[in-house]
Amino acid sequence: MDVLSFNVFVGVRARGVPARERAVEFCRRLTDLDVDVLLLQEVWTRSLLRFIGARLPSLPHVAWRSGLAGHPAGGLAVFARQPLRRPTFTAFTPARPGIGNLRFRAMAALSCRLQGVLTARTVDDTVLLGNTQLTANRDGDWSPANRHHRLHSQQLRIVHDAMRTAGAHTVPLSILGGDFNIASTSALYPHIVDHGAWHDPFAAADHPTYRPEYLPVGRPAHRIDYLLVSGQPVHTADLALAEAAHLSDHLAPRIRLRNPTNGSLVS
């Protein structure tokens, strides 16, 4: 099984080439990669969801939940080669930052209402997929003193609770990916992997997934996108779309998995 996670970059701060123009190209590139599962973030409208889906003929099965005004909840979508069961979306609504000025708290509350985690199983119940995007931290600070720290801690708890409810670690293969908006150097990293419950195949290399050209001058790039696995060994882990800076402000983590019983690639 070949799995890829990608933030398509159509949020309120997006700039440059319009989303649909970029979607034509990244869908072509993703089709050429021949992935089996695609986790997308920031697909905020139903029209964009359909536009992307029409250009991914090898991934005909789509998991998403309707949110405000019928748009994809959380901007999250899963495209798969195999049929999927009805998905579940869990919003971050209960999470609160605890510190910060009134405007920051209001924006955080709105973010928590819109964003969350999407979970879906394959119809044969052999694979559980989770896709998430946490509240963006534009402070460039992931220390425990940062105003996002408590908020992110609560959001991670909601993510892992939702995955456990959906059956994580009990099905043969569980995959959790997305734009966590938390640097791998953060004190919250153990919470990202749920204190070892998830395997992070990118931990050793730890290459940044956010493009430095989209950051203020002098601010270092970090790894904030993850693909975590439970249940089967990872054959390869790399970053896709690295040469196409105009497609998104994020790189795309990609993994291939092996069958633990015979060593062959999972089909």
Three-class secondary structure of residue 237 per DSSP: strand
Whether the CB-CB separation of 98 and 150 falls below 8 Å is answered with yes
Distance CA 165, CA 226 (A): 20
Closest to 65 in 3D by CA, of 90, 38, 41, 84: 90
CATH class label, 2-257 = alpha beta
pLDDT in tens, 158-215: 999 999 999 999 999 999 999 999 999 999 999 999 999 999 999 999 999 999 988 9
Q: In sequence order, which ranges of 72-137 are alpha helices (DSSP H)?
A: 102-114
SS3 content of the chain, % helix, strand, coil (to 5): 25, 25, 50
- pLDDT, position 258: 78
Element (H, E) at 189: helix 189-192
From residue 186, give the alpha-carbon distance in Å to each of 10, 122, 141, 144, 221: 26, 33, 9, 8, 13
- pLDDT, position 260: 47
Distance CA 88, CA 46 (A): 17
- pLDDT, position 9: 86
Every domain of the chain and the residues it spans = 2-257
pLDDT of residue 60 exceeding 90, the answer is yes
pLDDT in tens, 214-265: 898 889 999 999 999 999 999 999 999 998 888 899 999 999 997 644 444 4
